[in-house]
Structure 1
């Protein structure tokens, strides 16, 4: 991923936290030179000193076959993003787009049935534990679970490299930066508001540092 120096994320803990909070990712592999992508809910887990991206996909998904070639896999995670009008700058310039994204490179392997069950248990726990009537693994009937397990395949990707882009107008002066935040709040879409909040948090953090 091309990342200008202004926008390159280097803090590993922040990158890992970003993946946890934006865990609906895109897995990209290749088959006979043609890229294949699938959008999936994923998990970040740590085993010893090694991090893995885990998940599952439909058994009928042809992308599963590419995992067996033991070639490099790309996983992409995206956060808030928003259009930035250059009319918000004091000096003349061109429009741009602010965004956050993380690319993870690694090698994929297939989970056995027991590891897949454990991964699904953790996934349900993550998204259901706070609900009034949580749908957890041990609350579902064995018959239903066995039927569903036959239709999916689990995988884990050993994380070998992470690249993070945080394009949040860091290259603008303070006056422009504040104005961008205010203008984003005036926009009518949720992405712009999320970007404004993110930029505000970054400004507060930078001032404390």
Structure 2
């Protein structure tokens, strides 16, 4: 991912926090000589050796997993809010642009055992059920229902590199107040999200 220096974010703790809160990403590898992407939850976790990993699973019906090669490098893409920025909000004449947050994570993929995959599903469900009115636990589901785990392939990705772009009008500092104000007047979540990030 091309990132001009003034838009690059190297604050690893901030980026990790972003990944935890924006875990629905795109897993990309090569399938039949073409890039193939699948939109799935990719949870940031810590391996037993202390390294950062992403954990996920895909359906066995998805041909992507047949091209998983242990320790082969894959790309995972995560998107945050994004919003159009009108040049009418600038004091000086300038072209319109788009503000956004995107994180690219590279790493080596390894397929998990069925037991490891089930453990990862327990963690996934427990995380997202916390905010439910009536939270469920996989522990309370029948063995018949849980057999569906045989229809997925679990994996972990040992992270080797992270590239983060936080394009937040850094080159238009004199116009920040106006840009934030204009974004806040829009009803869409992307504009609201970018305005919040620009305030930080």
What TM-score do the two structures reach when normalised by structure 1?
0.92
- CA–CA separation in structure 1 for the residues paired with 2:72 and 2:179: 42
- Give secondary structure in 2 for the equivalent of 1:150: helix
Residue of structure 1 equivalent to 2:176? 177
Residue of structure 1 equivalent to 2:122? 121
Kindly tell me the number of residue pairs found equivalent between the two proteins: 199
User: Bigger CA drift: 10-19 or 191-200?
Assistant: 191-200
Residue of structure 1 equivalent to 2:150? 150
Residue of structure 2 equivalent to 1:2? 2
Distance of aligned partners of 1:69 and 1:120 in 2 relative to their CA distance in 1, 3 Å threshold? closer
Structure 1 residue runs without a partner (length 5+)? 203-209
Residue of structure 2 equivalent to 1:25? 25
- CA–CA separation in structure 2 for the residues paired with 1:188 and 1:49: 42
Aligned: 1:78 with 2:87: no
- Give secondary structure in 1 for the equivalent of 2:69: helix
Residue of structure 1 equivalent to 2:162? 162
Quote the offset at 1:134 in angstroms: 1.0
Runs ≥4 residues deviating over 4 A: none
Quote the offset at 1:136 in angstroms: 1.1
Residue of structure 2 equivalent to 1:12? 12
- CA–CA separation in structure 2 for the residues paired with 1:35 and 1:69: 17
Residue of structure 2 equivalent to 1:133? 134
- Give secondary structure in 2 for the equivalent of 1:138: helix
- CA–CA separation in structure 2 for the residues paired with 1:135 and 1:108: 30
Note the aligned Cα RMSD (angstroms).
1.1
Residue of structure 1 equivalent to 2:191? 192
Residue of structure 2 equivalent to 1:97? 98
Quote the offset at 1:24 in angstroms: 0.2
What are the Cα deviations for residues 18-51 of structure 1, in whole angstroms up to 9, with x where unaligned? 1000000001111232110000011111123311
- CA–CA separation in structure 1 for the residues paired with 2:136 and 2:164: 34
Residue of structure 1 equivalent to 2:69? 68
Quote the offset at 1:92 in angstroms: 0.2
- CA–CA separation in structure 1 for the residues paired with 2:113 and 2:90: 54
Residue of structure 2 equivalent to 1:54? 55
